[in-house]
Amino acid sequence: MARKDGPLQMRVGEAKQRDVGKKRARIGPEAMDRLKVTPGDIIEIAGSRPSCAVVWPNDEDERSPEVVRIDGQTRKNVGAAINDAVRIRRIQAKAAKSVILAPASGSVTVDKEFADFVKNRLKGLPLSQGDEISVMILGNSIDFKIGKTTPRSVVRMDRSTSLSILTEAPESKKARVTYEEVGGLESEIRAMREIVELPLRHPELFSRLGVESHSGILLYGPPGCGKTLIAKVLASESEANMYSINGPEIMNKYYGETEARLRDIFKEAKDNSPSIIFIDEIDAIAPKREEAYGDVEKRVVAQLLALMDGLTDRGNVIVLGATNRPDSVDPALRRPGRFDREAEISVPNADGRLEILQIHTRGMPLSDGIDLRELASELHGYTGADIKSLCREAAMKAIRRYLPKIDLETDRIPAEVLETMEVKLVDFYDAMHEVVPTAMREFYVERAKVWWDDVGGLDGVKQSLKDNLIAAMEDPGRFSKMGVRPPKGALIYGPPGCGKTMVARALAAESGANMILVRGPEVLSKWVGESEKAIREIFRKAKSASPCVVIFDEMDSLAKYRGGDETGGTGETILGQLLTEMDDGASSRVVIVGVTSRPDLLDGSLLRTGRLDLLLYVQPPDEAGRLEIIKILTERMPLAPDVKLPEIAVSTRNYTGADLAALCREAAVHAMQQEAEKVSSADFAAALKRVRPSITKEVDQWYSSIRSGISDAVPKNLDRPFYV
């Protein structure tokens, strides 16, 4: 920061999603004391030109006190990029007598009602001549250019201000895409900024160090995850020209035409550098030459290789390639000097899905009952494009609900009706039936959200996992000091509904590791080799995201004992691939956890030392365990004073954790049917008559026989379990 008597010098940071479009600047408490400002005051931010913003305090967990967080539009107004230095000082805003606005691009229809609406939206915000400002209108953001203001200093709009809005933009400009428009790709964006934006904005850094900047980056991943969006953002934020090449578009049947088109694009990019050349679906124009049938594809690959090798002749130009089939791209392109780096743009996890939801619901009138974090946790397998489509479909569902109240014959819908419209949670759930996630076959890495406190009972299983797997991930040196190798994995088995999967997820959360949850049948494919490929991909991702816990739910569907396969040997090849990967891929940083309720079907080779070392039986909860589970399940329930949880625990013998969850739900439903505000003991008594225990004497005997023989060899000839 600068000296106390002058303006503060701070670095520009990326804004939080909740501040985008609101002209806010977040700074730390020390900077606010230096400037003598309080939240809501106006500050001037000066980069290559001065602009203004409303000051707000940083979040408590902010670790960069010297950073001022502003959105992409404010960065454009001050003429600064992320990490650039800006000067900040406190200023006073005067009441505006008149303000002239013009659309930043395109045209708008202006009437008195529209002008009053914009005026109300801008009331209280600081306005500076020449800046751009956004107004959210019915969920759509419209950018306006601030023309002449009276007086000419920084002004605030109030009731007496005369507002004029022009219908046409003074000049057409391409839309600016900022980093705030990308959600769930924070680490990828950070890496791409260093590789792409830095050499484009400051090539002198690399010249001084005597090294060449990267010539190309290959982006790969499932469709709809943001590869094209990242290229647009990088071009926009680095103020570079962007040239797009859509693979099939440049292909020409005439000899030499396709290569000539490629040469023209590279020459134009060099003449207008700094530039980014973005080749979408690069596998279509640069396939493996040994597999290409036509002569055109081979010549195009050769021409592309030659153009990318000519780095010195190409100037300040970076090539970005995007594909969802990286293995189909010619390997000659995938070497340093051509595509130097490869970045995987994968399916977003729960936190990424939350960011994407916040972006696409930024202008939506959401009802109070919507918890975006909870909604994001349910959107497994949804890519960014899927979530965008989901939000659009949810809005369409909301419109259909309001159609009976709207007279479609009128020219304009009354503003009162528009103001009352809102999108409810049920609209999103209805939209989920129509928007099918495109990445359900993808195995994505995420953080587990289940902790030991969420798992009732099972103290012995928890302690075994702590002493073995968690200790192996956190401090493998303790095992080497004792002259032994840390365990690589565990098999958790037991009756259905006893909490096996929950324990495995809690293991990932408590160890601080990432988690890949693989549901056995998802891996299976009718195509030969696809299931084995999926297994290899799971372990590859686990290694890249280590420390990582790979949970195979319903493992018996993947690893049936050899000789019992009725699918013509396909199951045996999957088992062989799984065993090979467990030997090569599992380590103290990648832990394998198998979960099954049918351990009799597993092949014995899985259970030897060095693969699934720990064999943990998750038994039905005893009385103390049931009481602990019931306390967790009823933590948020409004219980009547006559409810005695220990008595319920005594009366629920042979109930599993899932049975107890069903019992609590039935008791709540019974209370709702009686229109009671609290759940009473009578409600639990009624629920006990409806929900019966899952554990019978036969099931208990069957698992006892399994436990007695599983340490020596997995039994194969036991009778079918009684719960199936």
Pick the CATH number of 623-693 from 1.20.1370.20, 3.90.950.20, 1.10.8.60, 3.30.1130.10: 1.10.8.60
H/E element holding 520?
helix 520-523
- CA distances (Å), 513 to each of 196, 371, 476, 516, 548, in order? 30, 26, 14, 10, 5
Q: For the chain, give every residue range classified as CATH 3.10.330.10.
A: 95-165
Nearest Cα to Cα of residue 439 among 318, 520, 360, 353: 353
**Cβ neighbours of residue 242 under 8 Å, at least 6 residues apart?**
231, 232, 235, 275, 276, 278
Check if CATH label 3.10.580.10 holds for domain 445-562+570-617. Answer: no
DSSP assignment letter at 457: S
Res 716: pLDDT: 44
What's at 5, amino acid-wise? D
Q: For domain 95-165, give the fold.
A: Vcp-like ATPase; Chain A, domain 2 (3.10.330)
Give the span between the Cα atoms of 449 and 432, in whole angstroms. Answer: 23
- CA distances (Å), 289 to each of 263, 296, 340, 366, in order? 20, 10, 20, 52
Question: Three-class SS string for 291-333?
Answer: CCCCHHHHHHHHHHHHHHHCHHHHCCEEEEEEECCHHHECHHH
- CA distances (Å), 306 to each of 249, 265, 705, in order? 20, 14, 68
Give the span between the Cα atoms of 319 and 276, in whole angstroms. Answer: 6
Give the span between the Cα atoms of 624 and 604, in whole angstroms. Answer: 34
H/E element holding 535?
helix 530-544
Q: For the chain, give every residue range classified as CATH 2.40.40.20.
A: 8-92
Res 723: pLDDT: 44
Pick the CATH number of 184-344 from 3.90.1330.10, 3.40.50.300, 3.30.365.10, 3.40.1190.20: 3.40.50.300
Res 718: pLDDT: 45
Find where tokens 């916040």 sit.
Answer: 358
CATH number of 350-440: 1.10.8.60
Q: What is the dihedral of CA 59, 61, 62, 63, to 10 degrees?
A: 170
What's at 436, amino acid-wise? V
Q: For the chain, give every residue range classified as CATH 3.40.50.300.
A: 184-344, 445-562+570-617
Question: ω into residue 203 within 30 of 0, thus cis?
Answer: no
Kindly report the average pLDDT of the chain as a whole number: 80
Residue 127 in contact with residue 96, Cβ under 8 Å? Answer: yes
Give the span between the Cα atoms of 398 and 123, in whole angstroms. Answer: 29
DSSP assignment letter at 557: G
148-199 confidence digits (pLDDT tens): 888 888 888 888 888 888 877 766 555 567 777 788 788 888 888 778 877 7
Residue 90 in contact with residue 40, Cβ under 8 Å? Answer: no
Give the span between the Cα atoms of 69 and 17, in whole angstroms. Answer: 11
Q: How many CA atoms are closer than 13 Å to the CA of 101, on its beta-carbon side?
A: 27
Report residues of the chain scoring pLDDT below 50: 2-3, 311, 712-724
Q: How many CB atoms lie under 10 A from the CB of residue 704?
A: 11
For every residue of 559-617, DSSP letters joined together read -BPTT---STTHHHHHHHHHHHHHHHH-SSSEEEEEEES-GGGB-GGGGSTTSS-EEEE
Res 310: pLDDT: 60
> How many contiguous H segments (helices) and E segments (strands) does the chain have?
28, 24
Res 669: pLDDT: 92
Name the CA radius of gyration of the chain, rounded.
31
The values of phi and psi at residue 371, to 5°, are: -105, 105
| pTM for this model (two decimals) | 0.64
What's at 545, amino acid-wise? A
Res 311: pLDDT: 46
Nearest Cα to Cα of residue 461 among 511, 504, 509: 504
Check if CATH label 2.40.40.20 holds for domain 8-92. Answer: yes
